[in-house]
Structure 1
């Protein structure tokens, strides 16, 4: 499943670290949930993500608070693409069979 969407970069504060994510749209999250796959840690789903000229492999994770999957955006990508909290981020996502 290959999709393009735009989402707002948000910060999630853990105990000592801050993590940054973009939430997938609700309809897309529902489509991802419907695909049968083997269980993985924390309900994660492997993906190939691209933002601008940056591309990387990671996983999306279910976020019970939002009711959607969220894509973690690592610091190297945020810096390379000059994005920060609150920015609208265009994402190209290839959801892998994993």
Structure 2
């Protein structure tokens, strides 16, 4: 399954580091939840392939409330020049 969507990068500040995420749109999250029921990893994670701009990587999305969040690692943020509040176009494959 492949999805394309837009999202905004948000920063969550922890004690020792900051984490950056994009929350998936509700309709997409519901479709992924149905498709992956019974196939998820630890903490309800779903393995995905992601592309933002010219950068692709493998990661997992994690449940958060009624949606999923996509962590955006530092190397991707640096390569694409994105940070907190950046609007991004995402291609996500399961």
TM-score band by shorter chain is over 0.9
Unpaired runs of 5+ residues, structure 2, are none
Unpaired runs of 5+ residues, structure 1, are none
Secondary structure, aligned partner of 1:22: strand
Compute the TM-score of the two structures, normalised by the length of structure 2.
0.93
Paired with 2:27 and 2:92, the residues of 1 have a C-alpha distance of 14
Deviation, structure 1 residue 62: 0.6
Paired with 1:79 and 1:94, the residues of 2 have a C-alpha distance of 22
Compute the TM-score of the two structures, normalised by the length of structure 1.
0.90
| 1:1-98 pair list within 5 angstroms | 1-35=1-35, 36-64=37-65, 67-95=66-94
Paired with 1:82 and 1:58, the residues of 2 have a C-alpha distance of 19
Paired with 1:39 and 1:94, the residues of 2 have a C-alpha distance of 15
For these two proteins, the number of residue pairs brought into alignment is 93
> Structure 1, residues 7-50: CA drift from partner, whole Å, max 9, x if none?
00001122321100011100000001101342411100000000
RMSD over aligned CA atoms reads: 1.0
